[in-house]
């Protein structure tokens, strides 16, 4: 299983438009990662002063969720562009999560799905010093900084976490889970 990186997915002006939609969205919630509600509440109410970030879930096939939002159209465009570039054989998107991390957000390591027939990608909407940390097949940590219009593709069962930005107030990105074909190590021939 490989980690892929693809630059220049969408023009910067489109990313700025997506950020505008995200800022105006009423659907934000506090992210939990793999923590319990009690762990999150303890984090938010103690002197730790950290949260796990915030997200908007606009599509989830498993929970039959589809928000009537332009955000899904943008997510689908990103999905299809990455599908054309990736060596993985994409079958269908399963979930779209739009994430926001502020300077006090500290994400826990987690996996998006435990099964090998899913990959995840993180699509970065703007340049910042935050990023995605992924534990690779060798058990080594790899950090992928948030480069505008760049996507990082990795197996959904890989442990990973988001990092907030230190040089901007916040960090926006899209996390997508995709079902893939397992034949021939998930790679297109």
DSSP classification of residue 107? P
pLDDT score at 1: 74
DSSP 3-state of 157: coil
Domain ranges of the chain: 4-186
Taking only the tens place, the pLDDT of each residue in 70-129 is 999 999 999 999 999 999 999 999 999 999 999 888 788 999 999 999 999 999 999 999
Taking only the tens place, the pLDDT of each residue in 12-50 is 999 999 999 999 999 999 886 666 677 767 767 776 667
Taking only the tens place, the pLDDT of each residue in 134-155 is 999 899 999 999 999 999 999 9
d(CA 5, CA 63): 29
pLDDT score at 34: 60
pLDDT score at 189: 44
**108 token code pair:** 């826990």
Is 37 exposed, middle or buried, given 0-12, 13-18 or 19+ CB atoms closer than 10 A?
exposed
Q: Helical H runs in the chain?
A: 12-24, 37-45, 70-85
d(CA 66, CA 68): 6
- Nearest Cα to 160, choosing from 142, 174, 146? 142
Residue with tokens 């926006």: 172
- Nearest Cα to 100, choosing from 147, 53, 144, 145? 53
**53 token code pair:** 């970030």
Q: At what angle do helices 12-24 and 70-85 cross, to 10 degrees?
A: 140
Is the domain spanning 4-186 CATH 3.40.50.410? The answer is: no
pLDDT score at 187: 53
């Amino acid at each position: 299983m490989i980690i892929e990186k693809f630059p220049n997915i969408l023009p910067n002006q489109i990313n700025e438009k997506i950020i505008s939609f995200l800022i105006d969205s009423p659907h934000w919630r506090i992210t939990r990662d793999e923590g319990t509600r009690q762990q999150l509440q303890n984090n938010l109410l103690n002197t730790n002063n950290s949260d796990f970030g915030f997200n908007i879930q606009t599509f989830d096939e498993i929970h039959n969720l589809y928000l009537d939002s332009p955000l899904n159209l943008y997510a689908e465009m990103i999905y299809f562009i990455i599908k054309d570039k990736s060596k993985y054989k994409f079958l269908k998107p399963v979930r779209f999560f739009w994430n926001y991390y502020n300077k006090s957000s500290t994400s826990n390591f987690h996996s998006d799905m435990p099964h090998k027939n899913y990959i995840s990608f993180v699509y970065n909407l703007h340049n910042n010093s935050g990023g995605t940390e992924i534990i690779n097949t060798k058990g080594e940590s790899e950090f992928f900084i948030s480069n505008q219009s760049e996507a990082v593709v990795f197996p959904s069962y890989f442990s990973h976490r988001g990092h907030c930005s230190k040089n901007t107030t916040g960090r926006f990105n899209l996390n997508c889970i995709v079902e893939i074909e397992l034949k021939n190590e998930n790679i297109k021939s």
